Amino acid sequence: MPGQISFDLKRKTVMITGAGRGIGKAIAVACANAGADLALGSRHVEECEQVAHACRLLGVRARSWTLDVAQLPSIRGFVDGALTEFGRIDVLVNNAGLTIVKPAEELSEAEFDTVCNINFKAPYFASAMVAKSMFERGVKGSIINISSQVGHVGGPLRSAYAGAKGGLNSLTRSLAAEWARHGIRVTGVSPTFTRTEMMERAAQNPEFRKNFEKVPLGRPAEPEEIAAAVIYLASDAGRFVTGHTLLVDGGFTAV
Q: Report the amino acid identity of residue 169.
A: N
Q: List the one residue out of 4, 44, 23 whose CA is nearest residue 144.
A: 23
- Of 65, 161, 179, 193, the active-site residue reads 161
Cα 88 to Cα 14: distance, rounded to the nearest angstrom:
9
What's the alpha-carbon Rg for the chain, to the nearest Å? Answer: 17
Cα 118 to Cα 124: distance, rounded to the nearest angstrom:
10
Is 161 a residue of the active site?
yes
Q: Cβ distance 120 to 175 under 8 Å?
A: no
Half-sphere exposure of 6 (CA within 13 A, CB side): 9
Instruction: State whether residue 37 is helix, strand or coil.
Output: strand
Instruction: List, by residue number, the catalytic residues.
Output: 161
